Amino acid sequence: MCSLDFAYQNFMLDNLRKNLSPETMRYYRENLTRFIRWLVDRNVKKTSKITQALTNEYLLFLVQSVPNKTSINTYLRALRRFINHLTKERLIKPVAIELVKDAKKIKPTFSNEDITIILNSVKATDDTSIIMLLLLSVGIRSRSLCELRVRDIEFDDGYINVQRTKNGEPLRLPISTDVTYILKEYVVLNCKRELLFETVRGNKFNRDSLAKRINKRLRKLGIQDHKKGVHIFRHTFGKIMSMNSCPTTVLQKWFGHSDIRVTQRYVDLYGKELKSTMNMLPTNGYQYCK
């Protein structure tokens, strides 16, 4: 048994030891605040008071006070990790945190035509085009790309070392010969610095400034307005890999997913299994006659 404050501080310290990204650390701080305040309002000061009944009551509170199910699940995911940590440390008895059911949406991805437009725009003298090429080729997150350094590229072997990841585990990802070649040309022409990419003022990109730069370029290329942001490149990468029968376990390692169920969504959406059953449909061979 220990105080709630000590348990929370211990949890955040454990996250630091695991080298979680600043964004992930902020995610836990922001989304656990509601739960901590809720406990304080009920005069809960010891972890021993955190039980299944109490967390069920908190879930009911969220459902009644937060209209958006996606937001509710955001709070619950943070809480689930906190609860799992407390359980592992034997500060509480096991408690199950169930997410609320929410309608899944198919997120937009680039079409083959979009990809062709993007790739045709790539020039070694244009850092924005090189950024988009790398996003399409590797599928890394924006925060990882912002932290890339020139020395993270293994030009001789054709690999990129992603040091900053969401779960704190570095990744070593292959890049094609063509991508390696133009990336090397870009570095020779532009990079007399440590970071691979910088803003026009010589600062490090953050998620917002990177998204702003990407969106401006996508509009200039004539790509539909709803296809924007940095994460669409990652979704497109996952779609292409799944459509080309990349094993789920391989894609999981590539994406750096801790939970294979997250990776499985790409396979479920874009894998060939459903498409391959087309010939079994009773409407196969049907032709519309005007």
Higher pLDDT, 105 or 91: 91
Q: Please say if the pLDDT value at position 185 is more than 70.
A: yes
Q: How confident is the model at residue 65 (pLDDT cuts 50, 70, 90)?
A: very high
Higher pLDDT, 262 or 217: 217
Higher pLDDT, 255 or 79: 79
Q: Please say if the pLDDT value at position 286 is more than 50.
A: no
Looking at the whole model, is its pTM more than 0.75? no
Whole-angstrom distance, CA of residue 54 vs CA of residue 104? 28
In contact, 109 and 236? CB cutoff 8 Å: yes
Q: How confident is the model at residue 233 (pLDDT cuts 50, 70, 90)?
A: very high
pLDDT at 241: 86
CA 14 from centroid of its chain's CA atoms: 21
pLDDT at 60: 92
Whole-angstrom distance, CA of residue 263 vs CA of residue 169? 17
